[in-house]
Amino acid sequence: MTYKALAIDLDGTLLVGEALPDENRLAVGAARDAGIHVMIATARWSHLALRLQERMQIDDPIIACSGAQVLDPRAGRDVFDHRLPADFTQALYAICNAERCIATATTTTHVRMKLEGALDRSLVGPEVEGVGALKVDPEDLPRVVAVQGSRCNQRIRAELQEAFADSVNILDSVGPTGKIVLTITAKAATKGAALTAACEHLGITPAEVVAFGDSENDLAMFALAGASVAMGQADDVTKAAATFVSKANTEGGVAHGIYRLLESGRV
């Protein structure tokens, strides 16, 4: 198999905290120079991915919002876009607003972050807006909501997961601080479905992709990709689903996997 693309998760995979290690940046450049497409595949928003693309000098489709969006940065348009149902969003926001948590809701142009206290603007991009409470806009429902807070997440699992099992995905992912974050999308929005859409847009198949990740919300992408690389610190389920377990993200796990692929043609 000749692999034509990489699909790389951000938090806990390509990034260490908010930082892009030089070794990963250089490895991505080596893959790009070898003619391999490099797609960011993140639970976070496309605005952040676009800034990282600029630093890595790539412009392939972006899988954002945990698979709810695929953005073609060259054309400046979405090729895949799924939103959370309005009734679920109303119930979810009610729990988030009642509990102490950090919750981000990503809509078309903004990321609204509900948190205690003031937002530190030095830590976030211009698209992020700090709010005291999340409000439903039926004309611009969120693509993804990410929630960090143990009691809040327990309530979401207990009160909403079974009731909305047919219409939403509630998955664990790893945030930039290394803590578990609930990542919530519409049922049709997974990194696997988004990978399929991105590959169709590029004129390749998922079997020609190597996926890199570290947590539960990467598993749908692993299942469709031709090969997959789990970070060394990933949970056992993610490691078991991967073709290859690399080093931890703090030890250049992405770079290690990319150079292994470039040197041998496989992972």
* 77 lies in the same domain as 94: no
* 242 lies in the same domain as 223: yes
Predicted confidence (pLDDT) at residue 178 exceeds the cutoff of 80:
no
- How does pLDDT run across 137-171, given as a tens digit for each residue? 999 999 999 999 999 999 999 999 999 999 999 98
Distance CA 176, CA 196 (A): 26
* 182 lies in the same domain as 194: no
Per-residue pLDDT band at 122 (split at 50, 70, 90)? confident
Structure tokens at 28: 């991505």
Q: Which of 129, 162, 186 is the last residue of a domain?
A: 186
* 172 lies in the same domain as 126: yes
Distance CA 162, CA 158 (A): 8
Number of domains in the chain: 2
End-to-end, the C-alpha distance of the chain in Å comes to 11
At residue 194, the pLDDT reads 98
CATH of the domain at 181: 3.30.1240.10
* 68 lies in the same domain as 35: yes
* 182 lies in the same domain as 205: no
Q: Which domain holds residue 201?
A: 5-81+189-264
* 57 lies in the same domain as 29: yes
- How does pLDDT run across 83-118, given as a tens digit for each residue? 999 999 999 999 999 999 999 999 999 999 999 888
Q: What is the number of H-type helices and E-type strands within the chain?
A: 8, 14
At residue 196, the pLDDT reads 98
- How does pLDDT run across 45-93, given as a tens digit for each residue? 999 999 999 999 999 999 999 999 999 999 999 999 999 999 999 999 9
pTM comes to 0.93
Q: Which of 161, 186, 211 is the last residue of a domain?
A: 186
Distance CA 110, CA 49 (A): 14
- CB neighbour list of residue 204: distance below 8 Å, 6 or more residues apart: 4, 5, 37
* 108 lies in the same domain as 92: yes
* 32 lies in the same domain as 96: no
Q: Which of 138, 165, 186 is the last residue of a domain?
A: 186
* 18 lies in the same domain as 65: yes
* 181 lies in the same domain as 114: yes
